[in-house]
Amino acid sequence: MKNGIFIYTKRNRKSHIKLTLYFLFKNYNSEYKNPVYILSTDLNKDDKEEILLGIRNDCRNLINFKDIKLENPIIDNNIDKSLKYNITKDWDKIEERNLNYYMLYTFWEEIGNEFDYILKMNDDVLIEEPIKDDLFKILDNRANNLLFCTLTQYCPYRSFGIKDYLKANFSEDNEKIDSIFNEIKISDDDQFKLLYKLIFNKEYQNSTLQEPTIPNDNLMVIRTSFIRDKIKLHLNKIKDLKYIYYFNWSFNLIVSLLALLINPDKVTRCVFKISEEKHRSAYIEDGKIISNVPDNYKLSGCVSKK
């Protein structure tokens, strides 16, 4: 069984990746010794050496660096125009869309399909308690497709249209699909309506959007054959929609929802304490102090305590 842990990072996030790797090895990988692949577009030789020397000697040989290119393969003038709308914070970041495209398509062609299972995690995730079992073996022993730790309420703007896509392709699961989404009201002057008109050349008539609650890929183990054999057809359809670029449909959104609908009994949750940087600090956004910090140190940053 060939497994790999994959983390994307950038040079200006070295402090994040070094802390993430410390806790990854301290609470999990020093025992199970799975290879770790750090994906990046801009780490230089010194950056890699700095990260590598932060790993303790007995695990340093597990670290691998892979330089990748993030490119937009789709030629469409509306994509550039759509990035200029003030929909949400960081809506204009083309790199995030390019990364989603890479992880959904290019990654599997270049390296992912060489593995039986991959663990995808964010570069600011801390595993805050020892994990007593090998996550890869849990997934393999249960013959499951996806293992996750926390849930997330996904942005209704960035998930626009995916509920309609699911209902069109999984019509027998309408009740299940409805249970995943909540309606969110938007105002008449919402920037999203202007974006909708740009893309579809007609007015958006509704006053609501759909917000899904899904498994979070901040730490997620995936069976490679599920991507290759079970959802490839859907990935090709989604590529043609261009919604990865229009609305920032993400790897997390697409893979999680397809897994829940194609084989819901093969999705498993393994609960342990992890946190992202946004769960560990407060920050200022639009002049307001925002904090997602849980009430006490017994809680994780998950939206569900169950």
Quote the CA–CA distance of 81 and 135 in Å, as a whole number.
Answer: 42
CATH 3.30.70.930 fits 3-153+215-291, yes or no: no
Instruction: State what percent of residues in the chain have pLDDT above 70.
Output: 98
Does position 303 have pLDDT exceeding 80, yes or no? no
Domain spans of the chain?
3-153+215-291
Q: What is the pLDDT of residue 297?
A: 80
Quote the CA–CA distance of 254 and 161 in Å, as a whole number.
Answer: 11
pTM: 0.94
Q: What is the pLDDT of residue 129?
A: 95
Quote the CA–CA distance of 231 and 239 in Å, as a whole number.
Answer: 12
Mean of pLDDT values over 62-90:
93
Residue scoring higher pLDDT (290 or 28)? 28
Mean of pLDDT values over 143-167:
97
* H or E stretch covering 291: strand 288-291
Q: What is the pLDDT of residue 75?
A: 81
Quote the CA–CA distance of 14 and 94 in Å, as a whole number.
Answer: 21
* H or E stretch covering 153: strand 151-153
Report the b/e string of 105-116 with b at 16+ CB within 10 A.
bbbbeebbeebe
Average pLDDT for the chain: 94
Q: What is the pLDDT of residue 306?
A: 45
Q: What is the pLDDT of residues 234-269, one digit of tens each?
A: 999 999 999 999 999 999 999 999 999 999 999 999
First to last CA, the chain: 32
- One DSSP character per residue, 208-275 reads EEEEEEEE-TTEEEEEHHIIIIISHHHHHHHHHHTHHHHS---HHHHHHHHHHHH-GGGEEE----EE
Mean of pLDDT values over 157-167:
97
Total Cβ atoms within 10 A of residue 54: 16
Q: Sorting pLDDT into bands at 50, 70 and 90, what band is 299? A: confident
Lowest mean pLDDT among 21-35, 189-203, 282-296: 282-296
Does position 304 have pLDDT exceeding 60, yes or no? no
Note whether 195 and 248 are within 8 A (CB): no
